[in-house]
Amino acid sequence: MRESLPVYLATVASLVLVSAARSEDRVQARGGLADCFRVLAEAAQAAQPARIVYLGGAFTQGQGAGREPLCYRALTTAHIRRLAPKTGLVEYDHSVAETGSWLAAFRASTDVVQHYLPLCLVVVELAAADGAEDPQRGRAALEGLVRQIRRSHPQADLLFVYACSPQSPAATWHDQIAEHYRIASVYAADAPLTEQGHASCAAAIGSLLEKAQAETADSKPLKHPLAESLCTAPMDAAKLVAYEAADFEPGWKTGQENTMEERLYRSAVGKFRSLLVCDSPGPTATLRFRGDAVGWFGAVGKDSGDLECSIDGGPWQHKACFQPGRDQLCPQAGLLADGLAPTAEHVLRIRVAEKTPPGSAGRTARIGYFLVNGTAADRYKDLAPLERIDAIYQAMESVQYTPPDGRWQLIPKTIQRLREGGTLRIVMLGDSIVNDTASSQYELLLERMYPKCKVVKIRSVRGSTGCWWYKEEGRVDEWVLKHEPDLLMIGGISQRDDTESIRAVIQQVRAARPQVEVMLLSPVFGTYDPRADQQWAYDADPQGEGYRSRLIRLAAEEKVEHVNMTGPWGEYLRRSDKARGWFMRDPVHANERGFQILGRILEKYFAPE
């Protein structure tokens, strides 16, 4: 009979008692995990969840566990939720098999640091993959990873998990760094890639968690100090650099679809949102950067080729990329150059190697990111904000959008202010998608069309939040009215299809400030792909039952402006020859190109008749 999860968890707990005598030396509490619970409690007081991030390899992905709920990661997350049931915990599994600390250091900013939710715990399981790593390079990478997290999230706890033998050289230098930064550590088991190994690891972590939870005593999170570095040059400036930062000769194709399975690259950005692809030797891609190391991160499969690179005009060097035996695209990273002068400007050139590797069906290069321990040159850095967004948009296909007849009827004061001059205050209320719409800097486009008017844009956004939250007592005052809007824009993808809550916010605003005009924006971006939806329609049926239909009716009933953003945005993506990910920075949110799709829709909507 299939064992239930509660029974299994009880079995897991018993393993702590059975193996305590022989495993005490495998669990090192050091600074402990009490801040994990303090951050959770503080986040709960602010009515939001906190997050736990796992950076690891095959063990963290669940290899050997049999099924997902029985891997140490799932068991650990479940244990925290049981110990802190009145708090919200969101798990982010950012594991990539067969990759260690070197790649993780570059991924730290994207996969750990940059997020709106509070960070309570980062579990780092990289020692097993670091077994084949150069110790000096691995130490610099792991310490750089730790320092990036501690610098940005000093209240977050870290936990090192070793899915390898205690005699592993990598485990030794991992533990040296753990000791220096007072990071708790756990050895998984003698045979980690088994159900018992996962259970044993989860039990050991559980003992740390239970001790930590007892130590919190309702206290506030403490800030972990950032100790002096052990390495002379830790990789604390390592980052993923979008391949678009480079210049390309004809032959390199940007914005190409990535067919790699999502599960193989578990990241905050999902699998590579799009790929830079070339299968012809000769054309070069050129990246200008400052830093001491540079590499590539992409997808390698049965038709992959090798690369050649040149640094600062030096000779071309061959860099092997193809690996025999891969029947599907897999994530892979490679070093191109290191030991460079860290503050000097460098020029990297890459090209596809002419010779097809033995065993490969081709010589295709697929690059998702460049890896830079430093900074990449920004081609737009000397441009004014309006010049910058124009330059980004100029490199894109133009937005084809004709706004509907009869627009503006419900925002006459807004249009009058634009035409005749003065200050127009626009409050944008919603979630991160509304924030992305604001990031288009559409207000600069409005000011160009209406030079007499000064547009003041106020972002009033909260991640994953809609009017179901904003309508509650006191929140309309805090998030809308105190900003004294002339025009209130409400949108996003977090409304939970709840048009009645949107109505409640509109009515509260009007009761306190009747002169405010309101504009409702239909949803864009998120996980929805208009190209994959056979039922997609540019316009929603006003008599339909879907959210877009009910939003149209709400606008008519409340006599507020409605802007169909979904139609022109979806049509743009469906018409484009670029991957959807070319316009996104992660599986949900737009990037600078995506911002411009939204901004140019609004520009055309407000364009003089």
Domain locations in the chain as residue ranges: 5-215, 238-376, 385-606
pLDDT in tens, 442-468: 999 999 999 999 999 999 999 899 999
Enter the pTM of the model. Answer: 0.89
The amino acid present at 149, given as its one-letter code, is I
238-376 and 5-215 share a CATH fold: no
**CA 472/CA 462 separation, integer angstroms:** 14
Q: Which residue has the higher pLDDT, 218 or 77?
A: 77
The pLDDT value recorded for residue 24 is 54
Q: Each residue of 327-342: pLDDT tens digit?
A: 999 999 999 999 999 9
Q: Are 151 and 181 in contact (CB under 8 A)?
A: no
Q: Which residues contact 118 (CB under 8 A, 6 or more apart)?
A: 39, 42, 43, 48, 50, 51, 155
Counting residues of the chain whose pLDDT is more than 90, the rounded percentage is: 88
For tokens 């020029």, the residue is 347
DSSP 3-state assignment of 431?
Answer: coil
The angle at the Cα of 151, spanning 121 to 31, to the nearest 5 degrees, equals 50
The model's pLDDT over 488-509, given as tens digits with 9 standing for 90+, comes to 999 999 999 999 999 999 999 9
Which letter does DSSP use for residue 110 in this model?
Answer: I
Q: 606 near 449, Cβ under 8 Å? A: yes
Q: Is 1's pLDDT higher than 90?
A: no
Residue 604 pLDDT > 80, yes or no? yes
What one-character DSSP code corresponds to residue 544? Answer: S
Q: Any idea which of 182-196, 295-309, 441-455 has the lowest mean pLDDT?
A: 182-196
CA distance 34 to 224: 11
Q: How confident is the model at residue 106 (pLDDT cuts 50, 70, 90)?
A: very high
Q: Which of 430, 428, 479, 463 is nearest to 48 (CA)?
A: 463
Which residues touch 140 (CB under 8 Å, ≥6 apart)? 105, 231, 233, 234, 235
pLDDT level of residue 545 (50, 70, 90 thresholds): very high
Pairing of strands 317-319, 487-490: unpaired
Q: Is the pLDDT of residue 10 over 50?
A: no
Q: What is the CATH number of domain 5-215?
A: 3.40.50.1110
Give the pLDDT band (50/70/90) at residue 47: confident
CATH number of 385-606: 3.40.50.1110
pLDDT at 20 over 90: no
The order of strands in the sheet holding 517-521 is 453-461, 422-430, 487-490, 517-521, 561-563
Distances (CA, A) of 43 to 37, 121, 388, 464: 10, 13, 37, 15
Tell me whether residue 47 is exposed, middle or buried, using C-beta atoms within 10 angstroms of its C-beta: 0 to 12, 13 to 18, 19 or more: exposed
pLDDT bin (cut points 50, 70, 90) of residue 18 is very low
Q: Average pLDDT of 67-82?
A: 96
Query: Is 16 a residue whose pLDDT tops 50?
Result: no
Q: Name the residue type at position 137.
A: R
- DSSP collapsed to 3 states, 26-55: HEECCCCCHHHHHHHHHHHHCCCCEEEEEE
User: What pLDDT is stored for residue 269 in this prediction?
Assistant: 78
Q: With contact defined as beta carbons under 8 Å apart, do 500 and 508 qualify?
A: no
Considering the domain delimited by 238-376, tell me its CATH architecture. Answer: Sandwich (2.60)
Q: What is the DSSP letter of 375?
A: E
Q: Which residue has the higher pLDDT, 497 or 115?
A: 497
Residues in CB range of 469: below 8 A, 6 or more apart: 47, 462, 475
pLDDT of residue 270: 75
Q: Which of 179-193, 507-521, 564-578, 593-607 has the lowest mean pLDDT?
A: 179-193
Q: Hey, which residues does 124 pair with through a beta bridge?
A: 55, 160
Alpha carbon of residue 510 to chain centroid: 37
Is the pLDDT at 5 greater than 70? The verdict is: no
Q: Check residue 159 and report its DSSP letter.
A: E
